[in-house]
Amino acid sequence: MAPPVEASRVSPQMLKDIYLRACEIDLRALKPGNVGVDAPGHGMFAADFTASAQASVAALTAPTLAVGASPSLGERPGLGERIYRAVAATREKVACNTNLGIVLLCAPLLHAMQPGDAPASGLRAALREVLNGAGVDDTRWIYHAIRLASPGGLGTSPTHDVAREPEVTVIEAMRTAAHRDRIAWQYSSGYADIFDYALPALSAFRARWGSDEWAASGIYLGLLRRFPDSHVARKYGEARAMEVSRMAAPLEAALMQCNAPQEILQRLQRADAEFKRAGINPGTTADLTVATLVASHLEQLLSTDSRNLSLYFTQRAGRKSYGLRAFVKAAGSRAVGGAGVSPDVSCNTITCKE
């Protein structure tokens, strides 16, 4: 039997395909309160997120980065620079901050799989090495990215305020915010929510329902029930975030009881409309869902027989789904962007609103 794929054989194109595929599944999944192909909301459309994925993918996956009209820099970027370049590229294409949380969560996973980075012990160990190795310079790039994504200003913090130049590593900065932000918590815990809950659950949902999209819906509801959404908490307070988690509980329970998830489609659609009427957008939970999909595809890739790489990607591409170009068409001929930008108090989630 041939060995699994080694990290050194993971190409930038593979990483690109995985990231775009995860963003695609996320948009096709029904996630109450979030934007989808058939579910615009909060002044945003699927086309905004599609354009954001396409704009950010090169910075997140390329071995070297080109800046403007300059040729490739010829040096591998660090984690922080990847995050900054992805945010900057998004801002050039989309007038709305749709993906800062996605970039913050997916960048370490994809960076961990760059050739020569990932150890033989697997994705989780490689991720820990990336996070622990991210220094003050990476923090500086990330702070620049956050400030770029929020031109209207950020909330202040008594320690490690993003408005000032940092003097701490990425892990140190994230630990300070971990109690109030679930993205910061992932950095400080080594993505515990994803590896300990979301990935095993996603695998079980895929096996049960045979659908990446419904599996993503299940993960979203499971995460939302277990972990009050920090974006909702920042916008409306912790009590409201906990209430939204309680609202997600019966939806998750109903989905878990279905052999065919389509049985509760209308119930989920009603919940989606209710959340959006109330201005509830569990954006952090959606970001965690995308990161879970990326991590899942990376783990599957590492476990794939090295002789069957092309078959793996053919099978993934053959699942029932739109391609990313079709997303724009499915979302209609709406102009991308144009929404106002509203920064959260925390540095880690920037949202759009009308």
Q: Which of 179, 212, 234 is nearest to 292 (CA)?
A: 212
pLDDT confidence of residue 161: 54
Name the helix (H) or strand (E) containing 194. Answer: none
Q: Let me know if residue 191 belongs to a domain.
A: yes
User: Which structural domain, as residue segments, surrounds residue 15?
Assistant: 7-67+75-353
Q: Let me know if residue 124 belongs to a domain.
A: yes
Q: Let me know if residue 138 belongs to a domain.
A: yes
Q: Let me know if residue 113 belongs to a domain.
A: yes
pLDDT confidence of residue 96: 74
d(CA 187, CA 183): 7
Instruction: Please state whether 237 falls in left (phi above 0), alpha (psi between -120 and 50) or beta.
Output: left
pLDDT confidence of residue 152: 33
Contact of 157 with 46, CB cutoff 8 Å: no
Contact of 313 with 42, CB cutoff 8 Å: no
pTM, rounded to two decimals: 0.84
Burial of 69 (0-12, 13-18, 19+ CB in 10 A): exposed
* Number of domains into which the chain is organized: 1
Strand, coil or helix: 62: coil
Q: Which long-range contacts (CB under 8 A, 24 or more apart) does 254-263 make?
A: 255/217, 255/218, 255/221, 256/218, 259/208, 260/209, 261/209, 261/211, 261/214, 261/217, 261/218
Angle among Cα 277, 256, 215 to the nearest 5 degrees reads: 75
pLDDT confidence of residue 46: 86
Strand, coil or helix: 18: helix
Q: Let me know if residue 16 belongs to a domain.
A: yes
Return averaged pLDDT per consecutive 10 residues of the chain, 354 residues in all.
Answer: 57 95 96 89 86 96 68 72 96 86 98 72 92 96 89 42 75 94 96 98 96 97 97 93 98 94 95 95 97 96 65 54 38 33 32 36
Q: Let me know if residue 41 belongs to a domain.
A: yes
Q: Let me know if residue 115 belongs to a domain.
A: yes
Q: Let me know if residue 1 belongs to a domain.
A: no
Say how many residues make up the chain.
Answer: 354
d(CA 98, CA 179): 23
Query: CATH number of the domain that 227 lies in?
Result: 1.10.4200.10
pLDDT confidence of residue 310: 54
